[in-house]
Structure 1
Amino acid sequence: MFPYIPNTKQDEQKMLEVLGIDSIDRLFDDIPEAIKLGRRLDLGKPLSEIEVSKKIKSIANKNIGTDELVCFRGAGAYDHSVPSVIHHLISRSEFYTAYTPYQPEISQGTLQAIFEYQTMIANLTGLEVSNASMYDGASATAEAAMLAAANQKGDTIVISETVHPQTRDVVKTYMRFYGVKVVEVPAKDGITDMEALKDIVTSDTVGVIIQTPNFFGNIEDCTEAVEVAHANKALFIMNVDPISLGMLKTPGEYGADLAVGEGQVLGNSLNYGGPYLGFMAASTKQMRKLPGRIAGQTVDLDGKRAFTLTLQAREQHIRRDKATSNICSNQALNALAATIYLGALGKEGLAEVAEESAKKAYYAYNKLIATGKFKPVYDQPFFREFVLETTMDVESLNAELASKGFLGGYNVGKDYKSDKNLIMFCVTEKRTIEEIDCLVKAMEEISW
């Protein structure tokens, strides 16, 4: 009956007898007939292991990724270098198969890895405490908004239009079921309109969310925004790119209450969109309100260094739908990759990655404009991404580039309405000057 499950008819009959039923279909009696498929799955005939392997590989080979194309696209997922030591270490069975460290006496390795991760994120963001990793940058931002809504007086989250569109959508979804309004602040010249922010933030605001570098790659000065938020007793939530913190002002230096973001860039591959990891760091004042788990350092009965989960109510087990967070399991393996990445690079190495990305992005920016086929859009400092205007349809341009071996820029028109053709290019430290020059040459060869 089930050719892909290696049970004989005799095996099936024995199991049915133990269960006291006469057919496998009886296991699904609780499912209404109206929603059942009503036929066998169209899986084809059974295949041998060799045949299955060949079939899966043939399907996988249809994918075209950054191994085949030179990547100049970002928009939230970035083609940074992943040192080989990361794959070597996270593939060790002690980490690869580890589960949530409920029992510290048998989970010291996992707990220490989480503790080191938290320490690095706290140092990176300039804030006092970090929790264990979260699902991704978008849900981490939404969790920060939930924290603000649960602990501040008011009913409104204010978020900049320059925050990643998908992150804004996730925040809106979370807040809709939390009974909190989400108000967007418009963008002006590619950054948050500060005058509009001042008008929108009121005493009903529980949190203000700004991203830097923002979705367009532009760097936002959050000094005034922090003052506006705190003047209205709202928490300031800063969505940041961790690589950029190798050279830019940290959330702690700005006086942010919470720092969140996507940690994919820290030693995690693109992975076709996931799994990724979100991070969250907070000031000491917000420490006991953090969602998820926090690993702490202590000493055992013999005075030796030891680790355990701490400041953890684990209320989602008890309060369920009334809990302040849905964070249960965490992305510990991805967080371990981030820890190894930061440990391997060190402070100077991270700064070098940031500086190389920025320098090469500016090189590409100037070279593309010099072709005469692109115009600058924003007069703002940027990090590794920049938006240009072109006369050619962006999708058509990217199709031409793909035929020449390039993954072209992101079509900004997918998320922001405009009567212009806007394309956003991304340049990481992986891109060489030769690859950038080849991109420029390809642009010059394309008929416009």
Structure 2
Amino acid sequence: MNDSNYCPHTPQEIQEMLSVIGISSMEELFAPIPSELRAKTFNIPPGLSEFETYDKMKTIAGENSSDMVNFIGGGFYDHVIPAVVDHLSGRAEFYTAYTPYQPECSQGTLQALFEYQTSICRLTGLDVANASLYDGATACAEAAMMALRITGRNRIIVDGCVNPFSRQVLKTYLYNLDVEIIEVPPLDGVLHQEALKLLLNDEVAAVVVQNPNFFGSIEDFSSIVGQIQSVGALVVASVYPISLGLLKTPGEMGIDIAVGDGQCLGNPLSFGGPSFGFIAAKKASIRNMPGRIIGETVDKKGRRGYVLTLQAREQHIKRHKATSNICSNQGLCALRGLIFLSSVGKEGLVEMARLNRDKAEYAKARLAGIAGVSVLQTAPTFNEFTLFLPKPAEAVVGALMKKGIVAGVPLSSYFADSENALVVTVTEKRTKKEIDLLVKELEVALCS
């Protein structure tokens, strides 16, 4: 240990703590961590001044490629963000606000989050929503835990078309619980409904689906929802909020709980975060919903006011009866979602959704015209679709990156026998010129 390190504990104190937990050294403490995952050293270089640190960070940031044409999706999307989103969310009264436990001095934040909840309810067609979750994947896991509490059962069925990241987070959340998770393998990029039906019984707490799914396929779950609910199970649907400008809402399908990621609602990509997750449900489920819930009321003079409501569900009131220990309430990111939806408006959201769909259809048709390339889906798609290439997708993506194009997400890391599969995403930001460039360079890459 060198003199530049700071450690508040003496060697004697460290040894005492190790003795209490029954080990003899720090090396033994970290032994369960695989060697390849351990830090090589904890000795850090001497500190830098503010100017030196800023200059170093600029140098590192300059190594990033910032002018790539982006056709990546898979849960995070390159959408337009109106300037008003940055302007309003950057105001100090919002930017510095904390969880509004004291309503008398938090009315602005409370009203904003109440309006956010209202927007999510209108977007999903469901009755109640909370004031945001960490991200879309954790929202999916929280919804599954809601279903476990509501039904008292211990089995979750997950469609294999659900985003792999959400499925992994779900497994992590439920790892130490006595819960069985069963995945239904995809069938041509959609839910294998016949396989699902064979698994339905009175032990199933919930079935988790996604629309549009990870392959980009759109599905109307209306017909299967009733069959799932007939055995007493709930239906959890992960949805892409921009797509709801065109698609049937979860409420219209009869779905019990809707979740999703709000990154596409006014939050930049930012290397994958921060974002916010949303969750909406039928009113009967509200006491099992995790997180903050803002309610509208009146004070003793009859004036409208806002408060945190149903707080007996939360850990700061009844820890042992809390529905979840959600400390990472993404209030500022959720506020950006509200400002985005308010500025775009109902008709604007419909127009944005149509642009996504129409541009993706143009790209799909052009790309499918390349020799050796085919489209997975027979089902309709929104702004993502899966291509089968005559070459390994990772190699093709690598070749196109040298041309300034990020062509999509290779599926080989997530699904077996998918070495040549590529998910391509086209948002409203992609121009005809950029799509045509993708087609041209993909054709070159496949012929070389």
**TM-score (norm. length: structure 2):** 0.91
How far 1:288 moved relative to its partner? 2.0
Deviation larger for 44-53 or 276-285:
44-53
> What residue in structure 2 maps to residue 222 of structure 1?
221
> What residue in structure 2 maps to residue 11 of structure 1?
none
Contact 1:100 1:329 in 2 (8 A): no
**Residues in 2 aligned to 1:249 and 1:68: alpha-carbon distance in whole angstroms:** 35
Contact 1:4 1:46 in 2 (8 A): no
Runs of at least 5 residues in structure 1 that lack an aligned partner in the other structure: 6-22
**Change beyond 3 A, Cα 1:395–1:4:** same
Contact 2:162 2:209 in 1 (8 A): yes
DSSP 3-state at the match of 1:260: strand
DSSP 3-state at the match of 1:87: helix
> What residue in structure 2 maps to residue 411 of structure 1?
410
**Change beyond 3 A, Cα 1:321–1:398:** farther
> What residue in structure 2 maps to residue 96 of structure 1?
95
How far 1:46 moved relative to its partner? 3.9
DSSP 3-state at the match of 2:374: strand
**Residues in 2 aligned to 1:307 and 1:223: alpha-carbon distance in whole angstroms:** 36
1:148-188 per-position Cα deviation (integer Å, ceiling 9, x unaligned): 11110422111100001111111122223221111112211
1:182 maps to amino acid? I
> What residue in structure 2 maps to residue 264 of structure 1?
263
How far 1:29 moved relative to its partner? 2.6
Contact 2:364 2:385 in 1 (8 A): yes
**Residues in 2 aligned to 1:305 and 1:390: alpha-carbon distance in whole angstroms:** 59
Contact 2:295 2:307 in 1 (8 A): yes
**Residues in 2 aligned to 1:419 and 1:278: alpha-carbon distance in whole angstroms:** 29
Contact 2:262 2:275 in 1 (8 A): yes
**Residues in 2 aligned to 1:154 and 1:48: alpha-carbon distance in whole angstroms:** 57
Deviation larger for 318-327 or 344-353:
318-327
How far 1:298 moved relative to its partner? 1.2
**Change beyond 3 A, Cα 1:214–1:403:** same
1:386-431 per-position Cα deviation (integer Å, ceiling 9, x unaligned): 0011112212111111111111210111101116510110000010
> What residue in structure 2 maps to residue 18 of structure 1?
none
> What residue in structure 2 maps to residue 253 of structure 1?
252
> What residue in structure 2 maps to residue 392 of structure 1?
391
1:247-396 alignment, distance < 5 Å: 247-317=246-316, 320=319, 323-396=322-395
> What residue in structure 2 maps to residue 176 of structure 1?
175
**Residues in 1 aligned to 2:367 and 2:320: alpha-carbon distance in whole angstroms:** 52
1:103-114 alignment, distance < 5 Å: 103-114=102-113
> What residue in structure 2 maps to residue 35 of structure 1?
26
Contact 1:165 1:415 in 2 (8 A): yes
**Residues in 2 aligned to 1:48 and 1:139: alpha-carbon distance in whole angstroms:** 38
> What residue in structure 1 maps to residue 144 of structure 2?
145
**Change beyond 3 A, Cα 1:25–1:4:** closer
Runs of at least 5 residues in structure 2 that lack an aligned partner in the other structure: 19-23, 31-39
1:48 maps to amino acid? S
**Residues in 1 aligned to 2:140 and 2:41: alpha-carbon distance in whole angstroms:** 43
RMSD: 2.3
How far 1:224 moved relative to its partner? 2.0
Contact 2:220 2:248 in 1 (8 A): no
1:53 maps to amino acid? Y
1:2-151 alignment, distance < 5 Å: 24-26=8-10, 29-30=13-14, 32=18, 34-35=25-26, 41-64=42-65, 67-151=66-150
Deviation larger for 294-303 or 358-367:
294-303
**Change beyond 3 A, Cα 1:128–1:40:** closer
Contact 1:292 1:312 in 2 (8 A): no
How far 1:34 moved relative to its partner? 2.7
> What residue in structure 1 maps to residue 35 of structure 2?
none
1:194 maps to amino acid? Q
> What residue in structure 1 maps to residue 208 of structure 2?
209
**Change beyond 3 A, Cα 1:83–1:206:** same
1:363-405 per-position Cα deviation (integer Å, ceiling 9, x unaligned): 1011111122411222110111100111122121111111111
1:50 maps to amino acid? F
Contact 2:312 2:318 in 1 (8 A): no
**Residues in 1 aligned to 2:418 and 2:327: alpha-carbon distance in whole angstroms:** 44
Deviation larger for 179-188 or 124-133:
179-188
Kindly report structure 1 stretches of 4+ aligned residues shifted beyond 6 Å. Answer: 1-5
DSSP 3-state at the match of 1:58: helix
DSSP 3-state at the match of 1:413: coil
1:340-367 per-position Cα deviation (integer Å, ceiling 9, x unaligned): 0000000011111111001111110111
**Residues in 1 aligned to 2:288 and 2:320: alpha-carbon distance in whole angstroms:** 17
Deviation larger for 163-172 or 369-378:
369-378
DSSP 3-state at the match of 1:178: coil
1:311-334 per-position Cα deviation (integer Å, ceiling 9, x unaligned): 221442365466331223410000
1:250 maps to amino acid? T
**Residues in 2 aligned to 1:314 and 1:230: alpha-carbon distance in whole angstroms:** 25
2:251 maps to amino acid? G
**Change beyond 3 A, Cα 1:2–1:61:** farther
Contact 1:153 1:204 in 2 (8 A): no
- Between the two proteins, what is the percent identity of the paired residues? 46
How far 1:81 moved relative to its partner? 1.0
